[in-house]
Amino acid sequence: MSIIRFFIFVTISILLTACDDSFNTKIYGDINNGVFVEMVDENSMKKSIVLSGLYFYEPRKSNEDLVKVIWEFKYYGVKIDKKIQKINLIEYGVVPKGFTTVHVAENLKENKKYYYNVKGGPVSADGCFYIENSRVFQVYDC
């Protein structure tokens, strides 16, 4: 009986830890002054995460499942370095210190829909947006 309690305790602890790591994103700005991705909690308050990578992409016209990466960076360190990786705001095209560029940022274009994926350790957050009149508009139903 005590072994069952132990496994229940371990399972609940893992689930609570995983929920604590979860995050959302919001994207804002304009193509003249900067496009920013901000990590937020479920109440839309800023939240720093241990970042492992990020990529922006656009779907190809021929098949929505195939994508064209337009900017990507990753952390290639062997150990987690929270001094480098603890981040809550990223500007499009600016690779944070300690990260490596995988794909150089391409210029964002008017009247296009873009997608992004932020990897934060064991969890990630996705989002999409479009640009109209140089401004970024987040799409909540990608």
Within-domain flag for 14: no
Within-domain flag for 5: no
Rounded CA separation 86/49 (Å): 5
3-state DSSP call for residue 111? coil
113: CATH = 2.60.40
Within-domain flag for 6: no
Per-residue pLDDT of the chain (142 residues; tens, 9 = 90+): 566 544 444 344 343 334 456 788 889 999 999 999 988 877 777 777 778 889 999 877 666 557 889 999 998 876 666 666 778 899 999 998 888 999 999 999 999 899 999 988 777 888 999 999 999 999 988 7
Within-domain flag for 4: no
Within-domain flag for 1: no
Q: Residue holding tokens 């602890």?
A: 13
> 21: Cβ–Cβ under 8 A, 6 or more apart, which residues?
49, 120, 121, 122, 123
Domain count, the chain: 1
Rounded CA separation 49/35 (Å): 19
Rounded CA separation 40/57 (Å): 21
Within-domain flag for 19: no
Within-domain flag for 15: no
> 2: Cβ–Cβ under 8 A, 6 or more apart, which residues?
none
Query: Whole domain around residue 60: which residue ranges?
Result: 24-139
From its phi and psi, is residue 133 left (phi > 0), alpha (psi between -120 and 50) or beta? Answer: left
Q: Model-level pTM?
A: 0.74
